[in-house]
Amino acid sequence: MTLRIGLIGLGVVGAETARTLASHAAMIEARAGQAVRVTEVSARDRSKDRGIDLAGYVWRDDPLALAASPDVDLVVELIGGAEGMALEAAKTALAGGKHFVTANKAMIAHHGARLATMAEANNVSLAFEAAVAGGIPVLKALKEGLAGNRIDRVYGILNGTCNFILTEMFETGRAFDDVLAEAQALGYAEADPTFDIDGIDAAQKLAILAALAFGGAPDFAAVETSGIRNVTDLDIAFAKELGYRIRLLGVAVRSDMGIEQRVSACMAPANAALARIDGVTNAVMIEGVPVGHSLLVGPGAGGGATASAVVADIVDIASGRGGRGFGAAAASLGGFKTTPATARTGAYYVRLMVIDRPGVIAEVAGIFGRHGVSIESMLQHGRQPEEPVPVVLTTHETTEATMQAVATDLAAVAAAIAPPILMRIESL
């Protein structure tokens, strides 16, 4: 008996998936309980050299023809995009009674619940381990290994590009734009890096993690999202002085008020496990009852890491362990009650650039006092009258609404030369 695979997309991940299934065929068959073989493929350019022999595959110019092929049992989609051909291929495959495996975080974040409903209605599996943190089996951990736990918080480093940039800025003192250019030269960042550095990639992954952790449908629109574009070498230096490391973190938290989901540049205590994750590595911390804390660390992207997760999903399906994509019946995947932004609490790092004049510090401190925000520490470097100097404050816990009001008043300080920079200080 053979599980016949149709593979849509032969880029870095697609080619590596085909190679892995071929080179590890005997091992995979032993683990899956049946042979697993790619029989049909589809990609944009048939003539491109991908380092694999295409002679044994049926070539389909039209991905939808592959998704509908009667000679395919499972479709793997590796072309990406929330809409368009990827989504149509998913719907075609599932409606036709074919299992579906994808690494497409955008599509699952936006349409995951709908696709899960289609899979369940047609008695097939929807699997997407590769959509989050590549080589880290974090979705499987949530669905299976931690299935007996109430998950209260899941958070982590979900974008290797941003983590590389922040690591290099910390270690070398270089400016953001300089390190971004290096990341692009090394292939870690795209020519248009918006998707990574503005937090969108991490937010899509967080929406999927939150869905599995808390038992709902992915809700990308509910993820409060910002990135690292405004992080400067000055902030990196102050973080170091204060005993923190800046990290782009995705955080999803359960509270009595609902589920909070956010992606932003944060101050992480320098001795925290996530603060010590450097380079392009990803890491996810899961807090649950009764397990406590579980940290998963590994490669978050790349052909090998992502193909590893894709093949793992294929093996699960071939062996009859495919199950439900979100670990629960599709009918139970309702929307989350969202924690109101005004009610979210935390401590903050605040940096304000001001002209060094008598009375400025008193005015700044007075704004915090009027809003009832307790200051934990204050730093001022530079003593050149009438020259711009940074003033940095850290606060005790307060509400986000209060800090936004503080930020508005700080921006109106006559000596301020730019709006203040705010970052949450995460308790990790």
Q: What is the set of active-site residues?
A: 205
Q: Which of 264, 286, 294 is nearest to 424 (CA)?
A: 264
- The SS3 assignment for 118 reads helix
Residue-wise DSSP of 168-190: HHHHH---HHHHHHHHHHTTSS-
**Which one, of 179, 315, 341, lies nearest residue 260 by Cα?**
341
What is the residue type of 265? A
Q: Is 352 exposed, middle or buried (0-12, 13-18, 19+ CB in 10 A)?
A: buried
CA dist 102 → 93, 182, 194, 208 (Å)? 12, 30, 23, 13
Exposed/middle/buried for residue 226 (C-beta within 10 Å: 0-12, 13-18, 19+) = middle
Name which of 110, 99, 100 is nearest 77 in CA terms. Answer: 100
Question: In whole angstroms, what is the distance from residue 153 CA to residue 397 CA?
Answer: 18
